[in-house]
Structure 1
C-alpha cells in the first residue's frame, strides 16, 4: 500500500459515488493534493446495490439543475476516462391512474417547463407504445422526460475515481478514519489506522455511517438507515431501449437490465435498520431478502406488468440506505464546525444526484459558498429536534412511506408530534386550532369554527382545500378588526458586546446604527449581493440588538451571522428563541385592544412604526415591536414564556368588544401576498438581490459605510438587472396558484412563480415571480407586456403589478 501523505489540502471521507464525485470535482478545480479515504473498497457501502435510475425533475429549480448536471456529466464521463458507466439516456415515464394524480403530473409538467426541462404529456396508448410490457386499463395519462435515464452505479463511481486520479487526487482504500484532530474549534488533521494527515478541510460522504461519525465531532447529520428492496429478474426479452418507469399509484419503479427488469418500490410500512448501530464489518453486504414484506410491492407490480408472474427471479436485493426526515439529501458546511462539509442522506436517489452533488460540494469547499442557492438540501435547514435519533427515525419512516404518495399542497407530516409547543398550545387547541409543524414547533395554521361543527383537520386536494373559508374569516378579521397570531416559534437572537453595532453594520444591508428603541427591517447579503437572511433588528441597548427571523431559518441565520462577525470585533451571538413567546396583535383595532391592558403611551408619536418599547401588561414585562407582516397596524409582543398565558388571556378579554379573534399562519400568508411582502426561501434568497426583489429601499447605499455585498448592489444599481420580482393576478378566482407556474410574457417563457396563493380582500389568486431577460429587465419592460400563467399545462391570462395590491392606509385595492 502506498504511504499516506502527511498533509493534504482537503480530505474526502467515503468512496461511494458522492465521495468520488466530490474528489473528482475538487481536482478539476485545482485541488490536486486532495486525498480520498475509504474504509473498505470503493462502492462497498450503499453505492454497489443502488438501482441506478436517473431522474431530474424536483420542485426546486436549482435542485433540478443539479440533477441535470449529473446527466451531462454521465454523458461525457466514459469518453474522458475510458471507463464504461452504463449510462443510457432512454428517458423516463411517470404514470397517473386517477384524476388527482393526473393533476399532479400536469403540474409537474408545468414545473418542468418552468425550469427548462423537456417533459411531454402522453395518452395511455402513447405510454403503452413506449412501454409495451404494461397494462394500461387504469391509466389516465403519463408524462415522459426524454433526458432521464439509467446507469450502472459502480461503473460510474469507478469512472469518477479514475477521473479524480487523472487530475491528481490520491485514493486510499482499506483506510478507516478513526478520528479528527480538532483544536479550538479548528480541524487540524485526520487520524487513520495508517497514520495522520494534516488538513484544514474535511468532506464526509460516508453514507449511512455519516451521522455517527459526525456526531463524534459535535456535528448533527439527521439521517437513519432503512431497508430498501428491489427485484432483479432473469432475461425475458425486455427491449434494451425501454425507458425507466415510475408508477407511483402502485408504489413501484422499473428499469431494463440485461433483457430483464429491475423492479422495486416504496412500501408504506418501511423497516428501519441498525437502530443500535451499523455492524462493525458491514461492507459489500446485503441483508436477508424479505419476501413477505416485498409481497405488497409484488402484488402492485403484477397488476402493471403481468409478465412478471412467469419471469424468473434472479435476486431480491435488500440493501440498507440512508434516508432523511424530509426526503431531501444533505449538503454543505456544518454549522457546528468550520471546514467540516457533508454530502449524505440521498434517499435512494444518490446516483441521480451524485454528479451534481459532488460538483456543488467541491464548489462549496473551493469558494466557501455553494454555486447557487441549495436551501432545500442545505444542512442548516435542520435544528434542535434533529439531534434526537429516535425523532429522526420516526419522521424519516413517515417520509419514506410517502415517497410515492400524492404530494398534496400544504401537506403536513404527522409523526413525532407534538414536539415543541408554545405555552398557548392547549388553549389554542381547545379553541379549534389546526396545527402545522416547522422545525418541531407546533404552529396554528387555521382555526375551525367549532360551534358550527367544523373539525380542525386538513383535507388535502389540488383544488380548494377545506380550510379555505376559515382562513377567509381570519383574513377579514385582520383587515377589519384585530387578531392574535401565536408566533412563538420565531427564531430570536441576541447580539451583545461593545462592537455589536460595528459588527452588525458590516453584516446588515440596511442601516442598523440607529438609536436605542429603533427597529430595522434588513437583509444580510453575500458578496454577490444575494439575500442570505431576511430579519428584523431591534436595538434594545447601546451594546445589544434583538434579531428575529423565521422559524425554519434558526440554524441557517444564526450560522450566517456568527460566521460573518469580523474576527477582531467583540460581539457575541446568543440564541434566545426558547426564552420568549411571541403574540402578534394585528389589525386596525390592535391599538385599541392593547391600550386596555397597558398604561404605556401607544400613540403614534410615542410609539411609531419601526420602533421597540418595553411595556407592562397584567404585571408582565413585554418587549413590544411595532412591525407588521400582514399590512395592518400591528405589534409583535415578545413575552418571557412564563408570562405568555397571562398576557394572552388579558388581550383576549380586552379584545372581545373589538372583534379580536385567533388567526393562523395561512391568514398571514394570504395577507402578505396582498401587501407584497417577500418570503425568504421562495421569493428571495441567495440567488436574488434586493435590487432584483424590489427591496433597494432597504439597502444603505446612500450612507458611506462598508457592508457585505455593497459592491455587487452598486454594480446592479448602475448597470441594471436581468430579472425583477413582479406580482401576478388572475381574473378567474377559482384558479389555484401554488408556485412554479410558468410565466409567459407576450407568448415567451420568462420565468416561473416563486410563491402563490389567494388574496381574500382582492378576491383573486395572487402569485409572485421573476420576469427574466438576458438583455436586461426594466420597470417599463415588465409593465408593458401581456402575461399568461401556465397552470397544470393550461394558459391563464393574468395582470402584472410591481407594487402592493393592498394599501391599508388608503384602504386601496389595486387589481
Structure 2
C-alpha cells in the first residue's frame, strides 16, 4: 500500500466509490479508497435501490436527476453490467394537501425539463393495472424513477476509477486520523499510515465514528429500516413489462417489483434507533438486525388493500438493516468545520439515488472550491455545537416517522427542542409565544394572544397565526414592536491590518468608524458566499453579524482567508451577546427616556452605531433593522438581556410597545425586498444578478470575485432578481388564502421565464408578495406575469423594489 495519496477516501460503499469515480473523471487519479471490509458492506449491499428524482428542493432534483443520467451512462459499459430498471414511479395522493404538494413539485420539476405528470385514476391504472384507486384524489408520475442494483453500481464506480489510476484497498481498517505539522492528514490503518492532502469521510453509518477519529463530533444515528420481499406472484410472472414503482406517502410505504415478486418498505411510526450512544460493533458489516414484522402490520394491511396481489403470496425474506440519519434526514456533503481539507460525504438515508450527484459535488468541492449547485441544505456546518447525540436521536426518530411528510412552508417540529434559549424565553412563553428553532436557538415566531386559537397544524395555506401576525406587523408600522432575536452569529475582528484585509474580501466599501454597512463576500466566480453586517467600532476593530445558522460557515470562511502570520484576531462572541430589536415610529419615544444619549436623527443617524446606557445597562446600539421601520438593534451582554427586555417593556407600555415574532419579521422583510441568505441569495448568483449592485464597488482595485463580476458586467445575465405582487386569487377561497412559496414557476404568455425564491403576505401593504428571478427582459416594473402556485396560475406583476416605503422615509426618520 502506498504511503502517500493526494486524496484518501474512507468507506467503500456507493458514496465513497462515487467520490473516487468523480475525482478520477476530473483527472485526480492520485486517490486512494480504504474500506474496512468488502466494497458495498454497510448500508449499500442491503439497500432497496430505489432512485427517485422527486424533491421539494430544486437543487436536490438536479442532484438526483444527474444520478439517473449517470447510471444510464454506466450501464453502457458491457464489462460491468448493471441491473437498472427505469420504470417510472407513481406517487399516490389521498388528501388535498398531498395533491397540492404534487402540483407544486411537478410544476417546479417540469420547469427544469423533467416531464412529471399528474395522473387521474384512469391514467394511473393504464400504467399499473394492479393498483386499487379507492380514497385517491390523484397521483404523480415521475418518468425517471426506478431501481438499480446497489452492489453492481458500486462495482461500476470502482472499476472506472481503477482503470483511471485510482487505488482501492479492501479489508483495511482506519484506526486514527491526525494533522501533521505541515498541515497534511495522517491516516493510520492496520496496514500502515497514509499521508494525504485531503480526506473524505464516506463511512456510511460509521461516518460519525470516522469523524470522531479526528476529534470532531458528527450528528448522526443509525435507524432500522425494514422491507420485505414476497414470493413469486403469478400475475407478475405472466407479464413482460416491469411495473412502475409505487409510493403511498400518506400511508408511508413504497412498493415495487423485484423479479416476479414485490418489495414493500414502510417507514413506520415505531421508528427504532440503534447504537444510540454512537458505539457500533466492530464486526458489523454484512450483518442485519432481527426482523420485527409486528411494527409493520398496519402498513402491510394498507399496502395489500392498495395492491391485492401483494397479499396473495407469502413473504420470502425480510431485510432489517442499518441506515444512517442526520437530524433532518439529509446527508452531509461538504467541508468539516475546524478541519481544513477534511470533507464529509455520509449520512445518506437515500444513498443509492443520491450517490451520483453527491460524488460530483464532493469532487467539485475539492477541485473547484465549491460545487456547481449551492447545497447549503447538505452542508455539514449547518449544525453547530447544539446538536449533540440526544438531539440527533430525537430528531432522527421524528424524521423517520415523517419520512414522506409534506415540506410545508411553515412548520416547527418539536423533537430535540429546546436547545438554546435566550434569557427572556420564559417571559415570551408566558405571553403565548409559539417558538421555532433557528440555528438551534428558540425564537418566538408568533404570539397567540388568546387561549384557543384553533388548529395549529401546518399547511400550504395561511394558518391560525395569520391574524395574530397581521396585528404584530401593523403595531410595528403604527406604534412600536420588540423582537427577541436570539442567536445572531457575531464575530469581533481586530488588529493591525484588519481593514485592509476585510477590504479584499467584501464587494463593497468598508464603513467608516461608528458606521454600519451590509456587506457581501463573494466566491471566486462572483457568487454570493456570505452576507454580513459590518460595524466599524474603531480603525482596526469590527463587529461582524450574520444569521444564526451561518455561524460555522461564515467563521470558517473568515478564518481560512486570514493572512498568514498576521496580527488580526478573529473571535466568535455569538454566545456572549443577546439581541433585541426595537422598531416602529415610536421607537425613539421608548428609548430616549431610558438614556442620556441623544437618540435624535441628527445625533444618531441611520446606519450608525453607538455604545450607550439604557436603563443603566451598557448596550451596543445599531440603528438598523430587517423590517424597514425606524428602529435599533440592541446588542447586550447575555447576562443583562432579561433586565433590558423588562426595562424596555416597562418603558414602552405608554407607547403600545408589543412583542412581535419571526413570521411578522418575514412578512415585513418581503415588503422591503430584503433578500434572505440561502433563500434568495446563494453562491450560484452574483450580487449583480441578485440586484445588489449598490453594494458592489467595481472601482476597488481588488477583492475576491471582482474579475468574475467585471466579466459579468459586459455579458448578458441569464436572470435577475425581482419583486412581484400577486393579484387576489379568483378560483377558490383556498387559492386566495395561499401565497407563493419557494420554487414556483413564473410565466409570461405561457412560457416559463423564472421562479420564485420566497413568498408571503405583506400586511402593511395588504398584498401577497413573491421574490424571485426572471429573464432580464421581463424584469421591468409593471410586467404582467403568472405564477404557478400549487398548480393554479395566479396573476401578478413586477414592481420596483421595496413596495413598502420605497424611499426609506421610515428608516431615515
Q: TM-score range by the shorter chain?
A: over 0.9
Task: Specify whether residues 638 and 771 from structure 1 end up closer, same or farther in structure 2 by C-alpha distance, changes over 3 A only.
Answer: same
Partner in structure 1 of residue 480 of structure 2: 482
Matched, 1:397 2:403: no
Partner in structure 1 of residue 663 of structure 2: 666
Contact map agreement 1:631 1:808 (CA 8 A) in 2: no
Partner in structure 2 of residue 417 of structure 1: 417
Partner in structure 2 of residue 278 of structure 1: 280
Task: Specify whether residues 644 and 456 from structure 1 end up closer, same or farther in structure 2 by C-alpha distance, changes over 3 A only.
Answer: farther
Partner Cα separation in structure 1 for residue 168 and residue 426 of structure 2? 56
The offset of 1:719, in angstroms, is 2.6
Partner Cα separation in structure 2 for residue 524 and residue 466 of structure 1? 39
Contact map agreement 2:56 2:407 (CA 8 A) in 1: no
The offset of 1:310, in angstroms, is 2.1
Structure 1 SS opposite 2:185? strand
Q: Which moved more, 1:553-562 or 1:203-212?
A: 553-562
Partner Cα separation in structure 2 for residue 57 and residue 323 of structure 1? 19
The offset of 1:220, in angstroms, is 3.1
The offset of 1:409, in angstroms, is 2.5
Partner Cα separation in structure 1 for residue 633 and residue 274 of structure 2? 45
Structure 1 SS opposite 2:56? coil
Partner Cα separation in structure 1 for residue 764 and residue 143 of structure 2? 44
Q: Which moved more, 1:224-233 or 1:788-797?
A: 788-797
Partner in structure 2 of residue 428 of structure 1: 428
The offset of 1:810, in angstroms, is 7.2
The offset of 1:405, in angstroms, is 2.7
Matched, 1:375 2:362: no
Partner in structure 2 of residue 794 of structure 1: 792
Partner in structure 2 of residue 139 of structure 1: 136
Cα deviation 1:150-209 (Å, max 9, x = unaligned): 111111111111111111111111111111231258333221111122211111101011
The offset of 1:234, in angstroms, is 1.4
Partner Cα separation in structure 2 for residue 218 and residue 499 of structure 1? 33
Partner in structure 2 of residue 578 of structure 1: 575
Partner in structure 2 of residue 224 of structure 1: 221
The offset of 1:587, in angstroms, is 0.9
Partner Cα separation in structure 1 for residue 182 and residue 589 of structure 2? 51
Contact map agreement 1:632 1:808 (CA 8 A) in 2: no
Partner in structure 2 of residue 502 of structure 1: 500
Task: Specify whether residues 562 and 207 from structure 1 end up closer, same or farther in structure 2 by C-alpha distance, changes over 3 A only.
Answer: same
Q: Which of 754, 759, 769 is the equivalent residue of 1:751?
A: 754
Structure 2 SS opposite 1:749? strand
Contact map agreement 1:81 1:162 (CA 8 A) in 2: no
Structural mapping, 1:416-815, within 5 Å: 416-450=416-450, 453-455=451-453, 458-512=456-510, 514-702=511-699, 704-732=700-728, 734=736, 735-772=738-775, 777=776, 782-783=780-781, 785-807=783-805
Partner Cα separation in structure 1 for residue 17 and residue 121 of structure 2? 40
State the TM-score, normalizing by the size of structure 1. Answer: 0.95
The offset of 1:456, in angstroms, is 9.5
The offset of 1:382, in angstroms, is 1.0
Q: Which of 322, 325, 329 is the equivalent residue of 1:323?
A: 325
Structure 1 SS opposite 2:646? helix
RMSD: 1.7
Matched, 1:188 2:185: yes
Structure 1 SS opposite 2:340? coil
Matched, 1:58 2:55: yes
The offset of 1:376, in angstroms, is 1.1
Partner in structure 2 of residue 170 of structure 1: 167
Matched, 1:35 2:32: yes
Partner Cα separation in structure 2 for residue 636 and residue 754 of structure 1? 27
Task: Specify whether residues 81 and 187 from structure 1 end up closer, same or farther in structure 2 by C-alpha distance, changes over 3 A only.
Answer: farther
Structure 2 SS opposite 1:650? helix
Cα deviation 1:660-711 (Å, max 9, x = unaligned): 1000000111001111111111111111111111111011223x33111111
Structure 1 SS opposite 2:769? strand
Structural mapping, 1:4-19, within 5 Å: 4-19=1-16
Matched, 1:364 2:365: yes
Structure 1 SS opposite 2:77? helix
Contact map agreement 1:218 1:336 (CA 8 A) in 2: no
Partner Cα separation in structure 2 for residue 568 and residue 68 of structure 1? 45
Structural mapping, 1:123-134, within 5 Å: 123-134=120-131
Partner Cα separation in structure 1 for residue 787 and residue 67 of structure 2? 30
Structure 1 SS opposite 2:73? helix
Task: Specify whether residues 577 and 217 from structure 1 end up closer, same or farther in structure 2 by C-alpha distance, changes over 3 A only.
Answer: same
- Tell me the matched-pair count: 798
The offset of 1:459, in angstroms, is 2.9
Contact map agreement 1:105 1:143 (CA 8 A) in 2: yes
Task: Specify whether residues 457 and 706 from structure 1 end up closer, same or farther in structure 2 by C-alpha distance, changes over 3 A only.
Answer: farther
Contact map agreement 1:228 1:318 (CA 8 A) in 2: yes
Cα deviation 1:532-587 (Å, max 9, x = unaligned): 11110111123321111111111111111211223253222211111111000011
Q: Which of 3, 23, 27 is the equivalent residue of 1:26?
A: 23
Partner Cα separation in structure 2 for residue 632 and residue 743 of structure 1? 30
Partner Cα separation in structure 2 for residue 781 and residue 543 of structure 1? 41
Structure 1 SS opposite 2:580? strand
The offset of 1:654, in angstroms, is 1.4
Partner in structure 1 of residue 733 of structure 2: none
Cα deviation 1:478-531 (Å, max 9, x = unaligned): 11111001002111111122222122111222212x432111111111011111
The offset of 1:149, in angstroms, is 1.6
Structure 1 SS opposite 2:648? helix
Partner Cα separation in structure 2 for residue 122 and residue 457 of structure 1? 31
Partner Cα separation in structure 2 for residue 77 and residue 433 of structure 1? 54
Q: Which moved more, 1:361-370 or 1:110-119?
A: 110-119
Matched, 1:95 2:92: yes
The offset of 1:385, in angstroms, is 1.4
Partner Cα separation in structure 1 for residue 397 and residue 691 of structure 2? 41
Structure 2 SS opposite 1:722? coil
Cα deviation 1:134-155 (Å, max 9, x = unaligned): 2111111000011112111111
Contact map agreement 2:779 2:798 (CA 8 A) in 1: no
The offset of 1:407, in angstroms, is 3.1
In structure 1, stretches of 5+ residues that fail to align are none
Q: Which of 63, 69, 72 is the equivalent residue of 1:72?
A: 69
Contact map agreement 1:109 1:792 (CA 8 A) in 2: no
Partner Cα separation in structure 2 for residue 118 and residue 369 of structure 1? 29
Partner Cα separation in structure 2 for residue 511 and residue 809 of structure 1? 22
Partner Cα separation in structure 1 for residue 540 and residue 128 of structure 2? 68
Matched, 1:255 2:260: no
Partner Cα separation in structure 1 for residue 769 and residue 181 of structure 2? 51
Task: Specify whether residues 737 and 769 from structure 1 end up closer, same or farther in structure 2 by C-alpha distance, changes over 3 A only.
Answer: same
Partner Cα separation in structure 1 for residue 22 and residue 783 of structure 2? 42
Partner Cα separation in structure 2 for residue 72 and residue 311 of structure 1? 35
Contact map agreement 1:22 1:362 (CA 8 A) in 2: yes
Contact map agreement 1:329 1:346 (CA 8 A) in 2: yes
Cα deviation 1:406-437 (Å, max 9, x = unaligned): 33331112011121000000001111111111
Contact map agreement 2:783 2:797 (CA 8 A) in 1: no
Q: Which moved more, 1:562-571 or 1:636-645?
A: 562-571
The offset of 1:389, in angstroms, is 0.9
Partner Cα separation in structure 1 for residue 117 and residue 715 of structure 2? 39
Partner Cα separation in structure 2 for residue 184 and residue 469 of structure 1? 60
Partner Cα separation in structure 2 for residue 383 and residue 160 of structure 1? 33
